[in-house]
Amino acid sequence: MDAPGRPADPADLQAARRRLVVDGLGIVVSAAGFGFVFGLAARTAGHYSVIEAMAMSLIAFGGAAQFAVVGYVASGVAWPAIVVLTGLLNARHILYSAALAPWFRGRRFGERAAAAHLLTDESFALSIAHFRRVGRFDPFGYWYPALVTTLIPWNLATFAGVTIGDAILEPQRLGIDVIFPAAMIGLAVGLVTGRRELAAAISGAVVAVGVSLAVSPTVGIIAGGIVGPGIGLLVPPSGVPADLPPLEDMHP
């Protein structure tokens, strides 16, 4: 690992990009599988048209929130309630956005505004791991995960699911339901570089499950994301150097 804030040399940058591309293949599979099931659920459970399903995937681009809304729509939940629940479910992006902000320092406003719409669990995890490896912002490190591994396969798969999904009667038999948690835990592993991160991950998971059972999964995930890092900070840092760049040295 490079010293904090020291940009990787060209060979290291190429190696880091190759790793990003390979890791991204797993996310392509995840986004495609998850998007396909969303399209299928939207059609069968929510009775969405193709236009409605694609509007959700392109405009809302909300992953788990889109799934939840299929259930809300099918249950006849009022739109204001759906909107509030969606905002709550996606509130974890506040944490992602704040965590990425130091790396985007100095980038154009338009670029940051566009990047915000494409900020997902997957693009966050892949890009921040890449930035840490190379020690600075790398445009490829954000736009490749955001567009190529997430947005495009998610939308193509949504289209496939909502148009031809009926042909697949039991997606669970194909293991599609385990793709998302497997991708999330794999991405988490990629971000664990020391004791603190490990403690944050474990405590985040434990708190999330506990609160999910007591309140709701939506609240549980947010609680895990807030409490987990706090517990992680209580753990002494391991020998691995902190890898956030110093504030004055984050750009090429």
Partner 1 sequence: MSTDLVPLAFLMFLVTYPSRAVGLLSPGTERLPRRALDYLQLVGPAVLAALAAVSIMVATVGGRPVFTVGLPWLSVAASLALVAWRRNLFIGIAAAVAIAIVGRAAGLA
Q: Can you tell me which of 14, 213, 241, 252 binds partner 1, judged by CB under 8 A?
A: 213
Cβ proximity to partner 1, 62 vs 161, nearer residue: 62
The pattern of x and - marking residues 2 through 31 that bind partner 1 according to CB under 8 A reads --------------------xx-xxx-xx-
Give the separation between CA 21 and CA 200, rounded to whole angstroms.
27
Q: Which stretch binds partner 1 (CB under 8 A): 4-12, 133-141, 158-166, 230-238?
A: 230-238
Give the separation between CA 30 and CA 50, rounded to whole angstroms.
21
Label residue 48 exposed, middle or buried (CB < 10 Å: 0-12, 13-18, 19+).
Answer: buried
Question: Rounded to the nearest whole angstrom, what is the least distance from the CB of residue 60 to partner 1 in the complex?
Answer: 4
Q: Is 145 in the site for partner 1 (CB under 8 A)?
A: no
Question: Rounded to the nearest whole angstrom, what is the least distance from the CB of residue 13 to partner 1 in the complex?
Answer: 18
Cβ proximity to partner 1, 8 vs 28, nearer residue: 28
Label residue 158 exposed, middle or buried (CB < 10 Å: 0-12, 13-18, 19+).
Answer: buried
Contact 206, 200 (CB under 8 A): no
Within positions 104 to 143, which residues make up the interface with partner 1, using CB under 8 A? 104-105, 109, 112-113, 115-117, 119, 121, 124-125, 128
Q: Is 252 in the site for partner 1 (CB under 8 A)?
A: no
Q: Is 37 in the site for partner 1 (CB under 8 A)?
A: no
Q: Is 150 in the site for partner 1 (CB under 8 A)?
A: no
Task: Write the CB contacts of 40 (distance below 8 Å, at least 6 apart in sequence).
Answer: 161, 162, 165, 166, 168, 171
Contact 72, 85 (CB under 8 A): yes
Query: Which tokens is 201 given?
Result: 């991950």
Side chain identity at residue 116, one-letter code: A
Cβ proximity to partner 1, 3 vs 185, nearer residue: 185
